[in-house]
Chains A and B, each alone.
Chain A
Amino acid sequence: MSRDILVVAEQWKGQVDGITYQLLSKGAQLADSQGVGLSALILGHGLDDAVEVLKDKGMDTLLVMDDPELEQAGADVLAAVIAEAVRRIDAGLILIGYSLVGMELAPPVAARLGGALMTNCVNVEFVDGGFVVIRPLFDGTFHARIVLEGTGPAKGPAKGPAVVALQRGPTPTGQLPSKNVSVQPMTVDLKAIPSGSEVLELIEAPVSEIDITKADILVSIGRGIGDKDKIPSVESLAQALGGLMACSRPLVDLGFLPSERQVGSSGKIVAPKVYIACGISGASQHLTGMSDSKMIIAINKDPNAPIYQVAHYGVVADLFDIVPALTEAAKKGKAPD
């Protein structure tokens, strides 16, 4: 019995999403520790370039389901295709991204396979013959270690394969081992899968005048800002430092700032030289969007705020005390002597 590990690749119009490499890196590590194979599945249409890119990324088998009909397929159909790939590979563990795309696919895939489902995982390890995940609870204030029962190779009563959805994390740095990959085209009769949904149109991200992904310095604000009329004081700091202002999701939801400024898994993924988080508690969806930043400074009144899990420098204080002082320091520091 093989009980391989299967990574579900994420792509947009034939371009591989970065979270896929993170899943492959984790998958390769788990496959090695267990002595099983690593497979990946990519599904969509126009995947030739994506297949070229993925081929030497450490997997033994790459399943490719390339079908124009997949562009209109609803999540129910995609889930059925993924479940079919799991059966063909005889995978024991499925790794999928905890992105908005993966969040929609993980539950129906798990439902079709009848095994355990763990979402929003920070990590998954192979410990004492079973998979153990780490995932957050309650606003990310706590982490829990959870054992998936019966997931070891040929251990315990046979259970359906487990689905683990991993958070977007820091980009893996190590090289993935290049293997002699077997690329296997896969066909599934999509018309035979019952479906109640259909994709009518895929819409690119709107082109915006400002691009926070290009800035060297981002001064980012969250709910702690309180009122919309406090925003200009933070904008002054961004200007004084020669950077741009960004924000967390709640400020876009409140209508304080446009979505082009939003950092996080549903907004932009940024990695500036300096990221200053002002009044941002650090929900995991925000952290995944900025944790690759070179230097992270957090200003938050709550010393237990999850933002301090990733920050290099922390200031437990009122942001309206620190922001004006830092603006002054920046103006003085820049002025010619």
Chain B
Amino acid sequence: MKIIVLCKAVATGVSDVKIAAGGKAVQYQSQPLIMNECDEYALEEAIVLKRAHGGEVTVLTMGSITTQNVLHLGLAKGADRAMRVDAQVQDSQAASIVLAAALRKMEYDLILTGTQSRDTLSGLAGIAIAERLGIPFAFAVTQVEMDSDKSIRVLKELGGGRSARVKLSLPALLCVQTGIQRLTYVPPARMLRARQQPVRSFSLGDLGLTEDQIIAQGYHFLDVFPPTRTGQVQFLQGSAQEVATTLFSKIKEVM
């Protein structure tokens, strides 16, 4: 069983968001990058599947050398190999073009990733990749069972506590739901060892892609702003007792 986990590197926090030159994209002030939490669950599931059924796990990310921290975490958690596509993209569709091209050069039975990244919040890259590769997919997966060499059975959430059991032929791509496994702690010594392991990188040229094939197309940004507050929040000040007294009287008013 060859499993590839797609892990996105995201900023730890957000500061200084601005519209990039040309008004077509948003730029974040680059911070130390960490693994997108949703994708970390995909990694944990891949390691569990490998322990149960054998095989190997490869972590794949995209971005500059600063994203390698994410790959080291993957190796420290038990992945066998790490790969990086050296490319900067502006949106999830462009990411799906690049990652699908990289995956075509790799061998896999199963591709795992999270449901959403905390920066774009679009939740579409995983399935867009499956579409480009022409393989079956499932979203918000909470359980994976191996059926045979040729298929798997998964449980996926449909919202409101409802779910569906789905059979998929392999190879397939799964966007796993958060909480599918518990996140494991990595001791610093293991992280240090992981930093010694090699990381292979692809350039866009290696993938047969050019810069203009991965420019976000079909839309442009008008502006970026703090969200409007629909509730017109009133902030309460004072000691804990004063605040509590005010809150309790407000609660009594609506009950």
Contacts and interface: CB of A to CB of B under 8 A. Distances in A.
A316 B138 contact: no
Q: How large is the interface on A (under 10, 10 to 19, 20 to 34, 35 or more residues)?
A: 35 or more
A150 B218 contact: yes
Interface of A is mostly: mixed
A317 interface: yes
A309 B159 contact: no
B255 A266 contact: no
B243 A325 contact: yes
Nearest to B154: A197
Given A144-B224, A159-B218, A308-B233, A315 B160 contact: no
B221 A146 contact: yes
Interface in A114-132: 115-120, 122, 132
Contact of B166 (A106, A141, A200, A254): A200
Interface in B217-240: 218-236, 240
A48 interface: no
A313 B193 CA distance: 49
Q: How large is the interface on B (under 10, 10 to 19, 20 to 34, 35 or more residues)?
A: 35 or more
Nearest to A274: B251
A297 interface: yes
Given A310-B231, A322-B244, A119 B124 contact: yes
Given A148-B219, A266-B157, 19 more contacts: A101-B159, A103-B140, A104-B127, A119-B123, A120-B121, A135-B121, A137-B26, A142-B226, A143-B227, A197-B137, A197-B168, A199-B166, A253-B178, A253-B179, A310-B229, A312-B233, A313-B236, A325-B241, A325-B243
Interface of B: 11, 14, 17, 26, 28, 41, 93, 115, 118-124, 127-128, 131-132, 135-140, 153, 155-169, 172, 177-179, 182, 218-236, 240-241, 243-245, 247-248, 250-252, 254-255
20 contacts: A100-B139, A103-B115, A107-B128, A119-B123, A138-B119, A141-B227, A142-B26, A143-B227, A146-B219, A196-B172, A202-B163, A204-B162, A205-B161, A252-B179, A254-B182, A304-B226, A310-B231, A325-B241, A326-B244, A330-B251
